[in-house]
């Protein structure tokens, strides 16, 4: 009965999607079973599964539900030719190419280029990712993306995969975590199927390995990775790698691998700055508002969060999600007060702990001065300007009062601090060198 209803749904999909889309995406699906609330399909590659889930998932689910009200979820499994039941193997003969299953990790449907907010800290990484997705001649190989947790490495890699798959559906794109790579490798060893393993990995057009620092210290996995890497580079296939730090800083990585990783383009994602955080918050809030149109959010809340929450975007997202959930549950608008109450724990953790002394030290270093210069009465511009910058940063990054700050800078009056803050604010508008200095120092101090 279930098979029949799937047959009916298939022919409806053929009509509604058109023949081409149907042949590319729906035809390769086989309904294996309906197990309670889950309808399980087999797919020849995880990419097809991802694609169908993302583009046609809701439609298929709705149609299944119309036939069987219990179904709440669909699940796609990749099944290799041998593992499939005989009637499925029969099918696969009529399909386009013999498919070597790509053992990829699933892609997150939200991680696309159009949902990636670009700012100074990530613009280079974004541009490089775009370039790779465009395809054409491979200009840098590998693309090596690195940066701290939650700065968008995985997001960019998935975006590349989605984009390539969008434009060139027959391209074989394999995205997986380094952990997954190791797991596959160990499985292949255990089941004595190194041949199959190599074939899988060497048949791809684009290979993306996320969090490669994971294989540091794991020697045979590294070896295999090295060979795979070389084989693909030799064939002119694109490789994209991510890690939490630069290749040179990953301990336990063999030298030959380290140097290979540096061959291509190495780009880092910098910690977010205020503008990027605000941009991300705006974009995420807009997305949330689409699903919860009744929630009101006060002006100033997003600015407050961009100021107060650390550089990790994941934490930022979590904060926003919690605010919206809270607001929709209690039917309140999101005010500044409510934000402070609802996010007290997150805000406490990311409270700035920068001290005036640290600011003085960093500023003195930056301008090649001694700390004592900043405290001294000297008024030469080369000393007075850095002193003003340090006062400005003390006012904006700590909660110290003006008189307190004045006292720490060699017993100066609070009006001197006010003057310094005004002066630096002015200069930031007119003098790009000062603006850059302040931004750089602020970033170092907040890191």
Where on the chain is the footprint of ligand ADP (CB under 6 A)? 111, 115-117, 122, 147, 149-155, 280, 313-314, 317
Q: Are 238 and 160 in contact (CB under 8 A)?
A: no
155 binds, among ligand ADP, Mg ion, none (CB under 5 to 8 A by kind): ligand ADP
CB of 236 to ligand ADP, least distance (A): 27
Q: What are phi and psi of 223, to 5 degrees?
A: -60, -50
Q: Which of 77, 139, 137 is nearest to 103 (CA)?
A: 77
d(CA 447, CA 352): 10
CB of 129 to ligand ADP, least distance (A): 11
288 counts as binding Mg ion under rule CB under 5 A: no
Toward ligand ADP, which CB reaches closer, 111 or 367? 111
Q: Which of 251, 244, 307 is nearest to 276 (CA)?
A: 307
DSSP string, 56-111: HHHHHHHHHHHH-TT--EEEEEE--TTTS-HHHHHHHHHSSSPPPPP-PPPPPTT-
Toward ligand ADP, which CB reaches closer, 209 or 280? 280
Toward ligand ADP, which CB reaches closer, 49 or 147? 147
User: Exposure pattern of 202-228 as b/e (b: 16+ CB <10 Å)?
Assistant: bebbbbbbbbbbbbbebeebbebbeeb
CB of 439 to Mg ion, least distance (A): 26
Toward Mg ion, which CB reaches closer, 313 or 445? 313
CB of 277 to ligand ADP, least distance (A): 9
Q: Which residues pair with 146 in a beta bridge?
A: 243, 268
CB of 226 to Mg ion, least distance (A): 22
Residue nearest to ligand ADP (CB): 152
Helix (H) or strand (E) holding 40: strand 38-43
Toward ligand ADP, which CB reaches closer, 320 or 397? 320
Toward ligand ADP, which CB reaches closer, 117 or 133? 117
CB of 152 to ligand ADP, least distance (A): 3
Burial grade of 42 (CB within 10 A; 0-12, 13-18, 19 or more) = buried
154 counts as binding Mg ion under rule CB under 5 A: yes
Residues near Mg ion (CB under 5 A) are: 153-154
């Amino acid at each position: 009965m279930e098979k029949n209803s799937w047959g009916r749904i298939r022919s409806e999909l053929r009509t509604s999607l058109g023949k081409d889309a149907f042949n590319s995406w729906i035809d390769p699906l086989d309904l294996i079973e309906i197990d309670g609330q889950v309808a399980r399909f087999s797919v020849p590659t995880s990419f097809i599964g991802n694609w169908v889930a993302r583009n046609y998932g809701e439609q298929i689910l709705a149609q299944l539900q119309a036939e069987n009200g219990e179904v709440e979820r669909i699940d796609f499994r990749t099944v290799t030719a041998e593992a499939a039941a005989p009637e499925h193997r029969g099918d696969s003969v009529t399909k386009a190419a013999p498919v070597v299953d790509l053992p990829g990790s699933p892609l997150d449907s939200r991680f696309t280029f159009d949902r990636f907010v670009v700012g100074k800290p990530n613009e280079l990484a974004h541009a490089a990712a775009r370039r790779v997705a465009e395809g054409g001649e491979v200009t840098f190989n590998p693309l090596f993306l690195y940066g701290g947790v939650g700065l968008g490495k995985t997001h960019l890699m998935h975006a590349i995969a989605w984009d390539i798959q969008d434009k060139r559906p027959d391209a074989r794109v394999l995205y997986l975590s380094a952990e997954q790579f190791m797991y596959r490798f160990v499985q292949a060893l255990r089941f004595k199927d190194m041949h199959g393993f190599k074939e899988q990995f060497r048949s791809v057009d684009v290979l993306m390995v996320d969090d490669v620092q994971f294989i540091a210290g794991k020697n045979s996995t590294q070896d295999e990775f090295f060979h795979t890497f070389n084989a693909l580079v030799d064939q002119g296939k694109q490789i994209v790698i991510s890690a939490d730090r630069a290749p040179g800083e990953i301990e336990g990585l063999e030298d030959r691998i380290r140097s290979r990783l540096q061959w291509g383009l190495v780009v880092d994602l910098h910690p977010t700055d205020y503008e990027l955080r605000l941009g991300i918050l705006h974009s995420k809030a807009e997305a949330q508002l689409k699903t919860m149109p009744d929630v009101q959010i006060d002006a100033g809340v997003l600015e407050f969060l961009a100021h107060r929450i650390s550089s990790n975007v994941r934490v930022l997202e979590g904060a926003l999600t919690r605010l919206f959930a809270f607001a929709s549950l209690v039917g309140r608008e999101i005010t500044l007060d409510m934000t402070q109450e609802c996010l007290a724990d997150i805000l406490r953790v990311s409270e700035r702990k920068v001290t005036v002394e640290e600011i003085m030290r960093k500023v003195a270093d930056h301008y090649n001065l001694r700390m004592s210069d900043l405290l001294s009465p000297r008024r030469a511009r080369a000393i007075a300007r850095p002193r003003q910058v340090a006062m400005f940063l003390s006012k904006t990054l700590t909660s110290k009062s003006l008189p307190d700050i004045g006292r720490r800078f060699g017993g100066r009056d609070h009006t001197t601090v006010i003057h310094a803050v005004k002066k630096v604010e002015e200069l930031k508008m007119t003098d790009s060198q000062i603006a850059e200095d302040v931004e750089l120092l602020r970033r170092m101090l907040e890191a």
